[in-house]
């Protein structure tokens, strides 16, 4: 391939950084599944905690994925877990960014709040999705299918 433009439009060879904030390990598991499934789809993907963001991978990434859990009361006051660390993420430099939250009962408006946080860090948020913690396999597969579909050439 002689044109860099062709490679950038082709989802095969895309690079993703999956950043997660996890309390009990559920969101970490989801993030790792997402990274593994992206690799199976032909992408390069790295998963890392908000505590140790891989800055080199962030710089190389074509797409950034950020996940956390739903914190708060069962039916009210839901918010992204680990808001302090999410609010301190490195600047995302306008990169296409996708969010996800894992939840048990009801996510409330957590995705809206996560989107606001990611935009404040310079992410160009293109979409976000909730994933039930008791349906991680199906939820992460759907998330990856959606992500790959929206990055396919027009």
pLDDT above 60 for 127: yes
Lowest average pLDDT, out of 1-5, 26-30, 61-65, 119-123, goes to: 1-5
Angle among Cα 5, 147, 102 to the nearest 5 degrees reads 145
Task: Delimit the domains of the chain by residue range.
Answer: 12-148
User: What pLDDT does residue 12 have?
Assistant: 54
Q: What is the pLDDT of residues 7-56, one digit of tens each?
A: 334 445 799 999 999 999 999 999 999 999 999 999 999 999 999 999 99
User: What pLDDT does residue 133 have?
Assistant: 95
Sign of the CA dihedral with 52 first, then 146, 127, and 151 last: positive
Whether pTM > 0.95 for this model: the answer is: no
Mean pLDDT for the stretch of residues 96-121:
95
Give the three-state DSSP class for 119: helix
What backbone torsions phi and psi does residue 69 show, to the nearest 5 degrees?
-110, 165
> Does the domain at residues 12-148 carry the CATH identifier 3.40.50.970?
no
């Amino acid at each position: 391939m002689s044109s860099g433009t062709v490679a950038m439009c082709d989802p095969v060879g895309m690079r993703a950084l999956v950043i997660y904030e996890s309390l009990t390990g559920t969101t970490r598991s989801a993030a790792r599944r997402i990274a593994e499934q992206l690799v199976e789809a032909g992408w390069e993907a790295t998963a890392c905690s908000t505590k140790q963001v891989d800055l080199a991978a962030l710089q190389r990434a074509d797409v950034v994925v950020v996940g956390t859990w739903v914190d708060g009361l069962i039916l009210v006051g839901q918010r992204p877990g680990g808001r302090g660390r999410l609010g301190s993420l490195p600047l995302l430099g306008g990169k296409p960014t996708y969010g996800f939250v894992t939840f048990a009962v009801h996510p409330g408006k957590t995705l809206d709040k996560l989107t606001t946080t990611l935009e404040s860090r310079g992410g160009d948020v293109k979409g976000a999705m909730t994933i039930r913690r008791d349906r991680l396999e199906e939820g992460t597969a759907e998330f990856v299918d959606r992500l790959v579909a929206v990055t396919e050439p027009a």
